[in-house]
């Protein structure tokens, strides 16, 4: 996936400048690209903010960092990520949500009809 991570966040920022925007809200890597050999995201949650702060040509754009939301396994709800309780949070990407939904639908279908 070439259109992810640093490439994507810079492209979106530049597109907003070209459209006349003065502000850009940036948060987690929206593509949720997985690491090729490890079971983790390739980019950390603050990667986009760091890349934009170093990118040439984006100085006139005011970058507004977005607080990272994640699933709090203790409170059992979505909440803003607290680094001091990092182990209590799950980062759920769109891909993970799709996998959970497909798994749930398969189980539901099997219970209703006895087959997949």
Query: Mean pLDDT across the stretch 49-64?
Result: 85
pLDDT tens digits, one per residue of 1-48: 556 667 788 888 899 999 999 998 887 655 567 788 998 877 777 778
Q: Euclidean distance between the first and final Cα of the chain, in Å?
A: 31
pLDDT tens digits, one per residue of 35-51: 889 988 777 777 788 88
Helical axes 5-18 vs 47-54, angle rounded to 10°? 60
pLDDT tens digits, one per residue of 95-105: 777 888 888 88
């Amino acid at each position: 996936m070439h259109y992810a991570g640093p490439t994507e966040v810079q492209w979106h920022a530049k597109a907003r400048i070209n459209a006349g925007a003065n502000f850009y809200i940036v948060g987690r890597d929206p593509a949720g690209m997985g690491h090729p050999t490890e079971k983790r995201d390739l980019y950390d949650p603050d990667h986009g903010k760091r890349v934009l702060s170093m990118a040439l040509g984006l100085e006139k754009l005011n970058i507004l960092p977005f607080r990272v939301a994640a699933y709090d396994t203790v409170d059992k709800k979505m909440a803003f990520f607290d680094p001091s309780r990092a182990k209590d949070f799950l980062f759920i990407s769109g891909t993970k949500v799709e996998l959970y939904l497909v798994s749930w639908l398969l189980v539901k279908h099997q219970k209703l009809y006895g087959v997949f």
